[in-house]
Amino acid sequence: MRLPILEMGGRLAESDSISEANDVFHLTFDEIKSGFSGADHKDLVTGRKAEMKKWGKIVPMPTIGEPPPHEEGEGDPLGVAFAKFFGVPPEPSRDPDIIPGLGASPGTVQGTAKVVRSLAEASKLEKGDIMVCEMTMPPWMPLFSIAGAVVAGTGGPLSHCAIVSREYKMPCVVGTVIGTAVITDGMTLTVDGAKGIVRIDSRG
């Protein structure tokens, strides 16, 4: 289904209805049809891209409603495995300067926060900075030799971020949920990897 729609997008781009072929995925089928009749959808697509970007910055709630009660002796090996990898959401803090998470690698470091949402932003990271991210993957490995500590929005003790941080012997707190939403570049943070706590010392 994707290839035929992309072909239509290419034709709409050629007719100047949209700017590029991939913009077709921001249109409904009726709008695609009207584009072939000469309708100009460039402003419409621009607005929808902006809307999508806005919603992409919203951090979802870790859970909805009360979790079901856990009975002692109730074997749930899959649940235990998932908890080790993804972590269990921490209790929120009443202190706006305290961000709780899961301690993934011990140690305490104070440094300047740099929010790295993708490798495209990796160049902002300087030696000793605290790397704040959603998660890490193997291509992120070189960044661990630059960062002084890591704060991740997702993950548990067995996540990639946690394991690599322990290999580098650097403090790491994972599963903060709201880390990338409330921390901004230039803040001074203290990361306690043993307690699983990130403290905002200065907002820059």
**Looking at the annotation, which residues are catalytic?**
160
**CA 153 – CA 176 distance, rounded (Å):** 5
**CA 146 – CA 143 distance, rounded (Å):** 5
In sequence order, what E strands does the chain have?
98-100, 102-105, 108-115, 130-133, 149-152, 172-174, 188-192, 197-202
**What's the Cα-to-Cα distance from 195 to each of 111, 164, 198, rounded to whole Å?**
17, 18, 9
With beta carbons less than 8 A apart as the criterion, state whether 160 and 87 touch.
Answer: no
What backbone torsions phi and psi does residue 133 show, to the nearest 5 degrees?
Answer: -145, 170
